[in-house]
Amino acid sequence: MLIKNVKVFTEEKTFEDGEIIIRDGLISEGEGEAGEVIDGEGCYAIPGLIDIHFHGCKGYDFCDGTKEAIREIAKYEASVGVTAMSPATMTLPVETLEEILATAAAYKKEAVDGADLIGVNMEGPFISKVKKGAQDATYIIPCSKDIFRRFQAAAQGLIKYVGVAPEEEGALEFVEQVKDEVNVSLAHTNAGYDDAKAAYDKGACHAVHLYNAMPPFTHRAPGVIGAVSDSGHVMAELICDGVHIHPSVVRATFKMLGADRIILISDSMRATGMPDGEYTLGGLAVDVTGNRATLVSDGALAGSATNLMDCLRTVVKEMGIPLETAVACATMNPAKSLGEYGKYGSITPGKKGNVVLLDKDLNLKAVIKDGKRI
């Protein structure tokens, strides 16, 4: 495939006029025969997006625990330009989570359509009841390396992130025990600065949806957010759907952390791509109106109803983040965090031929997955 007349996003985070050649499903160098020709008509050509934290879409949830659910989720994600994904679990019984993870591992071996399943983000069950958000407190349990390793065995190594609340008993020991096996993230936590910083000093390296399900950042109590700022090795997720974080805070976060440490996520739930109505998340009833999803029980935010491509548009068009920066935070940064930058995240020879074309208004014009237009 030859994609000509496009503005190609580079590893230097710039756009350059040029063309892209894809052979045998991989980005290729050189010239010559390349099969199908696509005239990009001056569009931006960016790598396929990577969503490392979301729950579902089109009426399906990853925790439905079926191959059908993952398959339909993967198809929808690819249709909006997300060509690789690391969906998130909810807080559920240990045995249920093992079954969900085993299903994901089996799906990965046979998947052919849609976004690639390249990881799982375990948002629970090792979290805080105080900051549980839309998680079911019934199934929250203390950190356990043995239970985590049961999860990873069921997933056949697919778990890339595991969330913890560092203020809970045994959490810091857990970080030390598994930090070389998985990215440990601080998630749904009521930790103050000292506990959060201690976890990062011991090897935790990630923050789940920064600002959400954690104490606020204040001048005398900087909390998790301050600990993230002071820990240069930590990557932080941001939900930029226009609901979860004020645009001014998004801009301030980019200034505070720097763009290389920020990963755009959607945190989307099963209502994404569906009409307004009542849905479920982790077994809890959720009301969805527009792009706002809230628990019926107490009105707490319950994930989002916005896909990652729409989040990308929002962060650029409504929050003032440069397109080049936003693209890197939805492609390069997640690929690096996942340990998959050798295959995903940039339009570089040898990497997978996943390319998205956007017009000047960031409307989706084409999605190419493994060198095939979908």
Give the CATH number of the domain where residue 20 resides: 2.30.40.10
Whole-angstrom CA distances from 3 to 44, 84, 99, 316 are 11, 21, 42, 25
**326 and 372 in one domain?**
no
Same domain, 261 and 326: yes
Same domain, 159 and 240: yes
Residue 17 binned pLDDT confidence (cut-offs 50, 70, 90): very high
Average pLDDT for 146-153:
98
- Does pLDDT of 33 surpass 80? no
| pLDDT at res. 32 | 58
Query: Choosing from 267, 287, 298, 361, which is the catalytic residue?
Result: 267
**Is 318 in the same domain as 368?**
no
**DSSP string spanning 352-374?**
B--EEEE-TT--EEEEEETTEE-
Verify that 280 and 258 share a domain, yes or no. Answer: yes
241 is catalytic: no
Residues 6 or more apart whose CB falls under 8 angstroms from that of 362 comprise: 44, 312, 313, 316, 317, 323
Q: What is the pLDDT of residues 257-305, one digit of tens each?
A: 999 999 999 999 999 999 999 998 888 899 999 889 898 988 888 888 9
Reference 239, options 167, 134, 336; nearest CA is 134
Instruction: Kindly state whether residues 59 and 38 are assigned to the same domain.
Output: no
Q: Say yes or no: 78 and 61 in one domain.
A: yes
Percent pLDDT > 90 in the chain is: 91
Domain of residue 370, residue span: 1-46+345-374
Residue 226 and residue 349 share a domain: no
Exposure on the CB side of residue 259, measured as CA atoms within 13 A = 16
pLDDT digits (tens, 9 = 90+) for 335-374: 999 999 999 999 999 999 999 999 999 999 999 999 999 9
The token pair at 100 is: 């969900």
Query: Are 243 and 304 in a shared domain?
Result: yes
pLDDT at residue 35, as a whole number: 86
* Closest to 155 (Cα-Cα) out of 94, 99, 113: 99
What integer best gives the mean pLDDT of the chain? 96
How many domains does the chain contain in total?
A: 2
- Tell me the CATH number at 216: 3.20.20.140
- Residue 216: predicted pLDDT: 97
Question: Are residues 328 and 366 both part of a single domain?
Answer: no
State the pLDDT confidence band at 311, using cuts at 50, 70 and 90: very high
Give the DSSP per-residue string, 300-353: -EEEES--HHHHHHHHHHTT---HHHHHHHHTHHHHHHHT-TTTSSS--TTSB-
- Residue 155 host element (H or E): helix 145-155
Predicted TM-score of the model (pTM): 0.96
Same domain, 178 and 135: yes
How far is it, in rounded angstroms, from Cα 235 to Cα 95? Answer: 30
Residues 263 and 363 in one domain: no
pLDDT for residue 7: 98
